[in-house]
């Protein structure tokens, strides 16, 4: 079964990235740490979304984006944080707002930077993502 509804400003789609920020992400994958590889891949994917949604008048909000980092030292109280630099502290943001938050490093847009530390609370991150999707669907019934 496939989903093929077109994304529009009236009917945006939600994209959520879950990024492992556990200590294991400090290990190398080839010549560099895993977290650097993942950050580059996620930043590239976000930049592709920004490029595809860019029009003469600016970035259109065909997509709302969330980036959840998960890690932390306390197994019973995992660290879940938004890796988007939203002023409101929101877990998700319209793509135009995300585009405005980008910094430029080595001539490339940088939207997220992970900070590896501690355990891997993947279950907590997936549960949070589920809640974010359910909350988002309340205002986006299609």
Backbone angles phi, psi at 83, to 5 degrees: -90, 0
- Residue 24, judged by CB atoms within 10 A of its CB (0-12, 13-18, 19+), counts as middle
Q: Give CA 3 to chain center in angstroms.
A: 21
The pLDDT tens digits of the residues spanning 17-68 come to 999 999 999 999 999 999 999 999 999 999 999 999 999 999 999 999 999 9
**More reliable by pLDDT, 130 or 73:** 130
Tell me what the pLDDT averaged over the chain comes to.
Answer: 91
What is the C-alpha to C-alpha distance for residues 90 and 85, in angstroms, rounded to an integer? 9
pTM: 0.90
Looking from the CA of 29 toward its CB, the CA atoms found within 13 Å total 11
The pLDDT tens digits of the residues spanning 79-110 come to 888 998 776 778 999 999 999 989 999 899 99
Best CA proximity match to 24, nearest among 126, 125, 114: 114
The pLDDT, as a whole number, for residue 88 is: 72
Cα dihedral 133, 134, 138, 142, rounded to 10, equals: 60
Please give the angle made by the CA atoms of 31, 80 and 72, to the nearest 5 degrees: 60
Helix, coil or strand: residue 6: coil
Q: Predicted confidence band at 73 (pLDDT cuts at 50, 70, 90)? A: confident
């Amino acid at each position: 079964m496939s989903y093929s509804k077109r994304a529009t400003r009236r009917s945006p789609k939600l994209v959520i990235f879950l990024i492992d920020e556990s200590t294991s992400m400090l290990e190398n994958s080839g010549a560099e740490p895993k977290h650097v590889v993942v950050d580059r891949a996620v930043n590239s994917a976000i930049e592709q979304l920004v490029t595809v949604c860019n029009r003469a008048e600016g970035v259109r909000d065909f997509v709302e984006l969330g980036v959840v980092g998960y890690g932390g030292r306390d197994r019973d109280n995992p660290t879940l944080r938004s890796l988007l630099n939203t002023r409101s502290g929101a877990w998700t943001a319209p793509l135009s707002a995300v585009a405005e938050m980008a910094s430029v490093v080595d001539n490339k847009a940088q939207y997220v930077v992970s900070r590896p530390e501690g355990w891997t609370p993947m279950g907590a991150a997936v549960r949070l993502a589920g809640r974010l999707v359910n909350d988002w669907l309340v205002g986006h019934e299609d």
